[in-house]
Amino acid sequence: MPPENGIPITLHSDLQGNLDFFKKETNSSPDIIIREWNFGSCQAALIFVAGLVDNQFINQFIMSPLVPFSDATEDRLMDIFKQHRLPIGGIQETDDLNTLLTGLLSGDTVFLCDGYDRGLLIASKGWEERGVEESTSQTVIRGPKDGFTESLTTNIALVRRRIVNPNLWSEHYRIGQVTKTRVAIIYINGIASNKVVDEVRERLKRIEIDGILESGYIEEMIQDNKFTVFPTVFNSERPDVISAGLLEGRVAIIVDGTPFVLMVPALFTHFFQAAEDYYQRFDISTFIRWLRYFAFIIALLGPSLYIAITTFHHDMLPPQLLISLSAQREGIPFPAFIEALMMELTFELLREAGIRLPRAVGQSISIVGALVIGQAAVQAGIVSAAMVIVVSITAIASFTMPAYNMAISIRMLRFGMMGIAACFGLFGVVAGLIFIIQHLCHLRSFGIPYLSPFAPVNVSMKRDTLLRAPWWIMRKKVSMANLKENAGGNHVDRDTPTSKREGE
């Protein structure tokens, strides 16, 4: 393989020597196609990878022009072919064998001539890819139905289709010493904070890893705090969501091979905002957003409050409700904490099984399994009916989160809150909430406080947090640069590896 330190290998003027390099580096793989031609005293070769190129494009626009032409002399063959015979826009001329090899394995075609110490890299990508389809992880009733695909070029085009502005800039990188995955960052110049953009560049350049197969690799390596359950990098497979984030001054990170696009900075309130909030009337959107925050509280504290009240604080319940709960718990061999733990683990298992099973039976298994197991557990006297109700409502509340990674964080914290409630009652629940809030105040996403605009306070940003203000008020979105300035340019975690920018 080429040197991993990035030292360029210069192209030889001997065609056979160059072809031997490609054969050696690829171990003469059968899918590496090498076609050689003789034009009198001139020799040329075409190299491409079967399956990564458009065969019709190769035959019509590259191979067909490769016919003997009278004005082809040995010192003019490359120039004539490039300037007059190739009806193609994407052509790069280089003398670096590493660049040619990387382009070859990315779906481009390499053209070499004997006696020339430079080669042509011709854009000819044409592998099979999934078309633009509706997003499966972030569905909406009203709004655009297109979603990102696994193609980097297509994903950038979906964003440019919505933001027709020359200030929408993109920068491309190659990350992964083995995979050399294409990664692009896009932002709106003049709206995005220069400090945030520079920070994104710096963190991407510092990534050192063998391969990048999904954007989750990038997310874990560029996040500020590596030891937190809360997500500090937003991801979405909806072009309208990413476009809206760019208008707010955020930076999108697109990874080739995955439909999930990253976006930074990501604040706590961003994970409670759905795309549909901005397509419905502001009063409807505000009401639904309040429901999400209420569901967040239930999903986090529902079982722990039930455990604390039924175990330590009976006097807080009305007498009739206390008698009813006591009658239900009569004969239950386990304390409330063990009941809740068993039921929560059972629901988590059913939820995971429903995801992994085939789609045709997964949803049926999860619903039927929950009903059968819950009813059987109550009749067997293992858990009380009230506990089944509490756990069920908690599970339903966790499904209201627009962001799946935030829902997972709540599910993880719920078990900790249950344990604290079983030991210390409501005092433990309050202490746990204080610890969570302190942790959230400590978190940052690319230098911006995670709880902005509440801590520190930013009045202009509050119109799109708990409330969704009318569009005649939010005609222009507030840039993240304002939050960056309010944060005082705080230092962010730089304990992340690096990579190299493509073309550097």
Would you say 119 and 100 are in contact if contact means Cβ atoms under 8 Å apart? yes
Q: Could you tell me the sign of the dihedral formed by the alpha carbons of 450, 454, 456, 458, in that order?
A: positive
Q: Which residue has the tokens 């961003």?
A: 270
Between the two ends of the chain, the Cα-to-Cα distance in Å is 19
Q: What is the pLDDT of residue 439?
A: 92
SS (H, E, C) 81-116: HHHHHCCCCCEEEECEHHHHHHHHHCCCEEEEECCC
| Residues near 403 by beta carbon (within 8 Å), at least 6 away in sequence | 231, 234, 270, 271, 272
Would you say 425 and 314 are in contact if contact means Cβ atoms under 8 Å apart? no
Strand partners, 47: 34, 110
pLDDT tens for the chain, residues 1 to 504? 344 445 667 887 888 888 888 888 888 888 888 888 776 667 788 888 888 887 777 777 777 766 555 455 555 666 666 665 666 667 788 888 888 888 888 888 888 888 788 888 888 787 777 777 888 778 888 888 888 988 888 899 999 999 988 899 999 999 988 888 999 999 999 888 889 999 999 999 999 888 899 998 999 999 988 888 999 999 999 999 999 999 888 999 999 989 999 999 999 988 998 888 888 888 888 899 999 999 999 999 999 999 999 888 888 888 888 888 788 777 788 888 988 898 888 888 888 877 777 766 656 666 666 667 777 777 777 888 888 888 889 988 988 888 888 989 998 999 999 999 999 989 999 999 999 999 999 999 888 889 888 877 776 667 778 888 787 777 665 555 555 555 544 444 434 444 444 444
Give the Cα separation of 131 and 148 in Å (integer).
Answer: 9
Q: What is the pLDDT of residue 426?
A: 92
Q: Residue 9 is encoded by which pair of tokens?
A: 């290998």
| Chain centroid, CA 368 distance in Å | 32
Give the Cα separation of 325 and 316 in Å (integer).
Answer: 13
| Chain centroid, CA 424 distance in Å | 39
Would you say 487 and 448 are in contact if contact means Cβ atoms under 8 Å apart? yes
Beta strand 500-501 with 168-175: parallel, antiparallel or unpaired? antiparallel
Would you say 348 and 411 are in contact if contact means Cβ atoms under 8 Å apart? yes
* Residue 98, burial from CB neighbour count under 10 angstroms (0-12, 13-18, 19+): middle
Q: What is the pLDDT of residue 457?
A: 76
**Measured CA angle at 214 (ends 209, 215), to 5 deg:** 90
Domain ranges of the chain: 15-122, 152-265+495-501, 282-445
Q: Residue 27 is encoded by which pair of tokens?
A: 């171990």
Strand partners, 37: 44
Query: Which DSSP symbol is given to 189?
Result: T
Q: What is the pLDDT of residue 453?
A: 83
Q: Residue 396 is encoded by which pair of tokens?
A: 């339903």
Q: Tell me which residue of 337, 437, 314 sits closest to 387, measured CA to CA.
A: 337
Q: What is the pLDDT of residue 502?
A: 47
DSSP reduced 3-state for 38: strand
Give the Cα separation of 59 and 35 in Å (integer).
Answer: 12
| Chain centroid, CA 502 distance in Å | 21
| Chain centroid, CA 58 distance in Å | 34
Give the Cα separation of 275 and 260 in Å (integer).
Answer: 15
Q: Could you tell me the sign of the dihedral formed by the alpha carbons of 283, 287, 289, 293, in that order?
A: positive
Query: Which DSSP symbol is given to 459?
Result: G
Would you say 139 and 274 are in contact if contact means Cβ atoms under 8 Å apart? no
Strand partners, 91: 122
DSSP reduced 3-state for 56: helix
DSSP reduced 3-state for 190: coil
Give the Cα separation of 254 and 259 in Å (integer).
Answer: 8
- Altogether, the residues listed in the chain come to a count of 504
Give the Cα separation of 327 and 382 in Å (integer).
Answer: 14
Q: What is the pLDDT of residue 211?
A: 87
Give the Cα separation of 47 and 316 in Å (integer).
Answer: 78
Q: What is the pLDDT of residue 252?
A: 94
